[in-house]
Amino acid sequence: MTGREPRPNEIAADIDPAQMEPSAGLVYIGRVHSPWTDRAECPRNMVQARERQKTAEVLVDAAWRPALRGLSRFSHAILLVWLDRSERNLIIQNPAHADNPTGTFSLRSPVRPNPIGLEFVQLLEIDEENGIIKVDAVDCLDNTPLIDIKPYFASTDSIPEAKKSSQL
Amino acid sequence: MTGREPRPNEIAADIDPAQMEPSAGLVYIGRVHSPWTDRAECPRNMVQARERQKTAEVLVDAAWRPALRGLSRFSHAILLVWLDRSERNLIIQNPAHADNPTGTFSLRSPVRPNPIGLEFVQLLEIDEENGIIKVDAVDCLDNTPLIDIKPYFASTDSIPEAKKSSQL
């Protein structure tokens, strides 16, 4: 954990998941190799990431490479990553872009009780034998652990009408 | 783990994440209360789930309820759940609806090395004080552990042009 500076009006939970007995265990299945090696330069979301026009590569561990069969039929996928350099105990956060302190579950901040990131990516190339997937962009740091890959289905995952109201 | 029957031509990995030393630990932060109490009746995906026209409730543990502040501004959210009754070791699966055995990462099957499910839901009501969120539908079993809640952003998460090609 590199630790980010606390900001005014942030509130920690009474418990810290990083210090608790886990309810369940994750295994890393690979790594994401991204152009971003420190937090300051890392895009905050996928809109910013795509603007940088830099591709990224996912390296899947040998044991799981056969599970890539069929993925190349899909144009897009969802990568699940474990944001291993994030704090886990904040319930109220005060991001620079927000007007007011707000709850962790209304943010996509990496700081959350289980710091899982979702990367909605376009699949550019898949080398099943060597476990290498080239994607259009990611917004996570280089060497972030990979925990799952799911095909993206427009029928269930695309909700163009989803809205955020401006009312507090 | 209730165990599902193995099907012809399925292939297990050489390693079983359920038996391995975890790379990282998850903490449960609540539970999903759904109408589905056994696998046979559980919808296979969110399209099927919505057809049943049954709402579901998420119960968030007390420690994390303040983190719900601001979520009611969003029309939709992504629930991350831990599919605690799923096997974790299959790399090739042979689902009833597929033409051929295919890789785990080209399926949304609950059987995967880290059995995390994504539920793309509409938010109907949020009771922050009691940690209760009513959503339009879910496709997971009753009492499935909750591990995260993220607001859905159409700008990054909605990809209506995402395609699956019919070519093998």
pLDDT at A99 over 90: no
Interval A38-68: pLDDT, tens: 989 999 999 999 999 999 999 999 999 999 9
Between chains, do B13 and A158 touch, taking CB under 8 Å as contact? no
Q: Which of B51, B120, B147, B159 to mutate to test the interface with A (most CBs of A within 10 A)?
A: B159
Of B22, B69, B76, the CB nearest to A22: B22
Q: Is A111 on the interface with B (CB under 8 A)?
A: no
pLDDT at B18 over 80: yes
Q: Rounded to an integer, what distance in angstroms lies between the CA atom of residue B116 and that of residue B76?
A: 19
Residue type, B47: V
Between chains, do A69 and B103 touch, taking CB under 8 Å as contact? yes
pLDDT at A151 over 80: yes
DSSP secondary structure string for all residues of B88-154: --EEEE--TT-SS-EEGGG---S-SSS-EEEEEEEEEEEETTTTEEEES---S-TTEEEEEEEE--H
Interval A1-24: pLDDT, tens: 446 777 889 999 999 999 999 999
Q: Is A99 on the interface with B (CB under 8 A)?
A: no
Contacts of A99 (CB under 8 A, 6+ apart): none
pLDDT of residue A137: 96
Of B27, B63, B163, the CB nearest to A23: B27
DSSP state of A163: -
Residue B166's pLDDT band (boundaries 50, 70, 90)?
Answer: confident
Whole-prediction pTM value?
0.95
Task: Pull the structure tokens for residue A125.
Answer: 């190339």
Per CB-CB distance under 8 Å, the chain B contacts of A126 are none
**Residue B151 burial by Cβ neighbours in a 10 Å radius (0-12, 13-18, 19+):** buried
What topology does CATH give the domain A26-153? Elongation Factor Tu (Ef-tu); domain 3 (2.40.30)
For B84, other C-beta atoms within 10 Å of its C-beta total 16
pLDDT at B2 over 70: no
Q: Rounded to an integer, what distance in angstroms lies between the CA atom of residue B86 and that of residue B14?
A: 17
Residue type, B92: I
Chain B closest-CA separation from residue A165 CA (Å): 5
Q: Rounded to an integer, what distance in angstroms lies between the CA atom of residue A42 and that of residue A137?
A: 12
- Tokens 């719900």 locate to B68
pLDDT at B29 over 90: yes
Q: Rounded to an integer, what distance in angstroms lies between the CA atom of residue A10 and that of residue A43?
A: 22
Per CB-CB distance under 8 Å, the chain B contacts of A112 are 148
Per CB-CB distance under 8 Å, the chain A contacts of B147 are 113-114, 116
Of A56, A59, A58, A61, give the one whose Cα is nearest residue A34.
Answer: A56
Of A43, A117, A41, give the one whose Cα is nearest residue A79.
Answer: A117
3-state secondary structure of A126: strand
For B125, other C-beta atoms within 10 Å of its C-beta total 11
Sequence spans of domains, chain B = 27-87+115-154
pLDDT of residue B3: 60
For the domain B27-87+115-154, what is the CATH code?
Answer: 2.40.30.70
Contacts of B40 (CB under 8 A, 6+ apart): none
Higher pLDDT, A96 or B12: B12
Q: Rounded to an integer, what distance in angstroms lies between the CA atom of residue A59 and that of residue A151?
A: 17
Residue type, B153: F
Q: Is B48 on the interface with A (CB under 8 A)?
A: no
Tell me the longest C-alpha to C-alpha distance in chain A: 50
Interval B133-150: pLDDT, tens: 999 999 999 999 999 999
Between chains, do B23 and A108 touch, taking CB under 8 Å as contact? no
pLDDT at B102 over 90: yes
Per CB-CB distance under 8 Å, the chain B contacts of A149 are 105
Q: Rounded to an integer, what distance in angstroms lies between the CA atom of residue B55 and that of residue B17?
A: 33
A72, B33, B78, B109, B122 from B163: Cα distances, Å? 11, 32, 21, 18, 23
DSSP secondary structure string for all residues of A84-114: TTS---EEEE--TT-SS-EEGGG---S-SSS
Between chains, do B24 and A25 touch, taking CB under 8 Å as contact? yes
Residue B168's pLDDT band (boundaries 50, 70, 90)?
Answer: low
